[in-house]
Structures are given as structure tokens and as C-alpha cells.
Amino acid sequence: MKAEHTTLLNGRVKLKQSQDGLRASMDSVLLASALTVKIDERVLDMGCGTGSVGLCVNARFWNSNILVTGIDIQEKMIDLAKKNAQINDLLDPHYICGDVADKNIFEPEAFNHVVMNPPYYEEGERLQSPDHAREKAFTGDLDVWIKSATHWLKHGGSLSLIHRADKLDDILKCLYGRYGAIEIWPIHSKLKEPAIRVIVKAVRNRKTPLKIHPMVCLFNEEGEQSVQAQSLLRDVEGLV
């Protein structure tokens, strides 16, 4: 696999990524922007790929001594994640090749926060890609992912995910009875266009009512990156 060097967060995160395979994008940065962490907390990046989300979280909270763990089913992605952890001087990283459906990989309630950019399609929802790595990343059972996240998440811990906007109903169904204090950020490419993504954050075993935040618009009508997008994608500002 040929790799090249890229960056996120205006150079604060350095990444080796595949030249011709799946690559981290602004979704990783946007997801990391929804998180708030305290000193010495543990963060699990589910389906971590190259480790981009966890590295963005670490860059936002570089002085909080957080412990980042990643899991991905693809060994090549884990190899890249380990290299990226070294490049970014990540404190005591743990990257594991495994299936997120296997709840025995981690102890119950091992993490304060779980972040995920889960597969965007269910089995049979789209034509299969001949690219095995791409198919692994894009096809999966959202409920399985959230059940495992819940098993590994401490009571009162947060789950944050980014997904297709049209999957919001499915996400809320998966969270029902397990989470509260749900917060939703609709992500729009342009002001007058429908949302393309949603960021959803929820707290395990909390009963606080759901909150929908104002939209995040990535580009203005001229196609230039919006001021808000720049603050999130370049200036390490958070949604919360």
C-alpha cells in the first residue's frame, strides 16, 4: 500500500494515508470537535482507520494527558494508525486489530468517551465495492456498533458519532433506552442545501432531554469555506 503524508487541523495532526484507498477527511475533525474531555480520561476510537479522530481529539486536548485507544478490523489500517501515533507523539497509544462486534476485546465500562465514524450502509443497501477495504469501511450494522460502544462505555460517559443525515432516525432508535442528553448538529455543505451529515453526541444512562443545535454550514454561496468551518477545521475550536 502506497502512503503519503497529509495533515489535519492546520498541520497540528500529521497523517500517513493510503494514496489510493480510504482517507481521513474533514469528518474526522468535525467529530473530534464535539468532544469535551477531562484530565486522564480514556477515549476509544471505534473503526479508527488511520487513527485520525483520536489524533484530532488529542490535538484539541494536548495538555489533558488523555489515553487514546483505537480498534479497526483492517490490519493495514492499524499499522498506519500506529505509525501516525508515533509521528504525532501520542502518549501511550493502544491500537488493536479486531472486530467491533466482539465485546470481549475490552473490559466493560473501560472508557470515558467513545467516538466513531461507523459504516454508512447496511448489508445489501448498496452495490458491493470490489475494493475490500472500502467495503469493510462502508458496510456494517449500526446497532452492533452502538451496543459494543455501550458495553465499553462508563456510566455517564459520552458517545459521539458522525453519520449520514438521512440515518438520524436509525441512530436515535439505536440510542433509545441506553442514552440521554442527546445533542445533534446538522452539517450542511451550503446554507440552502439539505444536511449531508449529522453529528450526534449522547450520554450513557442520562435522562436529560434532546437538544438540536444550530446548523454547521461548511461553505458560503461562493464555494469558500465558511468562518465557522475554518474555526473548526483549522483553529481547533469545538462545537461545545
Residue 83 is classified by DSSP as H
Give the predicted TM-score (pTM) of the model.
Answer: 0.91
Helix (H, G, I), strand (E, B), or coil: what is residue 194? coil
| Residue 159 CB-density burial (10 A; 0-12 exposed, 13-18 middle, 19+ buried) | buried
Query: What residues does each domain of the chain span?
Result: 26-233
Residue 84, C-alpha cell as written in the block: 501516525
DSSP H helices in the chain: 26-32, 52-60, 75-87, 132-138, 142-152, 168-175, 227-233
What pairing do the DSSP bridges indicate for beta strands 3-8 and 13-18?
Answer: antiparallel
pLDDT in tens, the chain (240 residues): 667 889 999 999 999 988 666 667 899 999 999 999 999 999 999 999 999 999 999 999 999 999 999 999 999 999 999 999 999 998 788 999 999 999 999 999 999 999 999 998 665 554 454 444 444 555 689 999 999 999 999 999 999 999 999 999 999 999 999 999 999 999 999 999 999 999 999 999 999 999 999 999 999 989 999 999 999 999 999 998
Residue 110, C-alpha cell as written in the block: 473501560
Q: What is the pLDDT of residues 133-157, one digit of tens each?
A: 444 555 689 999 999 999 999 999 9
Helix (H, G, I), strand (E, B), or coil: what is residue 124? coil
Q: Name the superfamily (CATH) of residues 26-233.
A: Vaccinia Virus protein VP39 (3.40.50.150)
Q: What is the pLDDT of residues 196-216, one digit of tens each?
A: 999 999 999 999 999 999 999
